[in-house]
Amino acid sequence: MTQQQHSRAPVWRKAPWFTLATCVIGASAHAQTPTAVVSRAVEQAGTIFPGLCTAVVDRDSTRFLRAVGYADVAARRAYTDSTVQPVGSITKTLIGMLLASAATDGTIVLDAPVAPLLPFPVGDASGVGSAMTWRQLATHTTGLRDREQGYRAAYVPAASADTSLSRYLQRYLAPTGTLYRAEHIARVRDRRQFSYSNIGAAVAALALETARGASFATLATREIFGPLGMQQSRFTAAPASPHDAVLYDATRQVVEPYVLTTYPDGGLRTSCADLARLATGVLAAEQGRPNSMMSKAAARLMLSPQFPDSAMPSGVDPREPNQGLFWQFRRTGGIGHSGSDPGVTAFLLIDPTTGTGRLFMTNVDFGEGKTAERYAAAFTAVWGALAQYQATIVSR
């Protein structure tokens, strides 16, 4: 979660990575098999969370997949590996995939400005907004800021008719926009300050729409969901599917259905099984295995550290010492993203070196205080057990 994690406003809900559970503690094996260890941890977590699902993958397949609890507590409807829910900022990994493919096939140049592809000016006449590049957007170094009051307007009821990405961003970033404030764009001309920005991710997606001549949803469906067989993945809340999870806040109150006008930065709705397919697909592509999703060059570009040691931006969290293209490096190893929104918590981490990855998703947000600590402790136990299982794959 971001530095604003203790606010109840939606701005912090799309977390760059987790801070509530910064240390991963492993479950004690004591002669138990890795499968038994992780299964027990998941079962125990099922007494804490409404519903949850976990997975461990390699380059070939999903090696472990387990869901427990309820997608709908009141109806006693089980949470399964096919249950669909939002996953918050894990959605940004899709922008990274499409961006890397566009960069390697020559559609865009990462260090070129994106302003010519936007249907409105960004910021005032100072030139800060017009100079931002694709790479800066993908590494959160543009100076674009998520102002709480303005960004909250991106969350709208599921039945809302106004979900235009372009219209919202124009309201937020163009000087004539109704949500515009000068502080939305920091005066950082050298672009050497890291500041996690949901708005910046949405801008990158909008510019990709122009560069590729199709909506972000169309691009993701055609180039990612389709090739990977992610049949349960979408960006819309309606028409609702019988597989959809009910979302809950930390006190187990139902969160009313919502969508994001900035859906590319956090609006993906997917299942645990589909998210596992995504992780496997990226790991396979990174090794150059035949696929129709992305090339080896694109995958390696996306997962390459973008900050050179000699020119590290200020403001970088030591727990996330570098950035790929919308994929985040963890100091403890691995590359991935997390997501947190009202009624949503999710984590995805892959390790290209070992060719493995793990994920966790649940239909509740952690909240604050003691409640957050309880959820974080349960998550940490599961995450550590998944890491142990992941390590057994590497050793084979």
Distance CA 258, CA 305 (A): 34
| pLDDT tens over the chain, length 396 residues | 333 333 334 444 455 444 444 444 443 445 588 899 999 999 999 999 999 999 999 999 999 999 999 999 999 999 999 999 999 999 999 999 999 999 999 999 999 999 999 999 998 766 777 889 999 999 999 989 999 989 999 999 988 767 899 999 999 999 999 999 988 987 655 457 899 999 999 999 999 999 999 999 999 999 999 999 999 999 988 766 789 999 999 999 999 999 999 999 999 999 999 999 999 999 999 999 988 899 999 999 999 999 998 889 999 999 999 999 999 999 989 999 999 999 999 999 999 999 999 999 999 999 999 999 999 999 999 999 999 999 999 755
Residue 198 placed within a domain: no
Q: How many CB atoms lie within 10 A of CB 48?
A: 17
**E-assigned strand segments in the chain:** 51-58, 62-72, 77-78, 84-86, 155-157, 258-260, 269-271, 328-329, 335-341, 344-351, 356-362
Residue 162 placed within a domain: no
Identify whether the C-beta of residue 151 lies closer than 8 Å to the C-beta of residue 11.
yes
Residue 121 placed within a domain: no
Q: Strand pairing partners for 55?
A: 65, 359
Residue 171 placed within a domain: no
Q: For the domain that residue 389 is a member of, what is the CATH number?
A: 3.40.710.10
Distance CA 81, CA 101 (A): 29
Residue 196 placed within a domain: no
Residue 87 placed within a domain: yes
Residue 255 belongs to what domain range? 10-106+214-395
Number of separate domains in the chain:
1
- Write the DSSP symbol of residue 55: E
Residue 36 placed within a domain: yes
Q: Would you give the distance in Å from CA 68 to the centre of its chain?
A: 22
Identify whether the C-beta of residue 50 lies closer than 8 Å to the C-beta of residue 382.
no
Given its phi and psi angles, is residue 67 left (phi above 0), alpha (psi -120 to 50 degrees) or beta? beta
Identify whether the C-beta of residue 363 lies closer than 8 Å to the C-beta of residue 46.
no
Q: Strand pairing partners for 70?
A: 78
pTM for the structure as a whole: 0.93
Residue 359 placed within a domain: yes
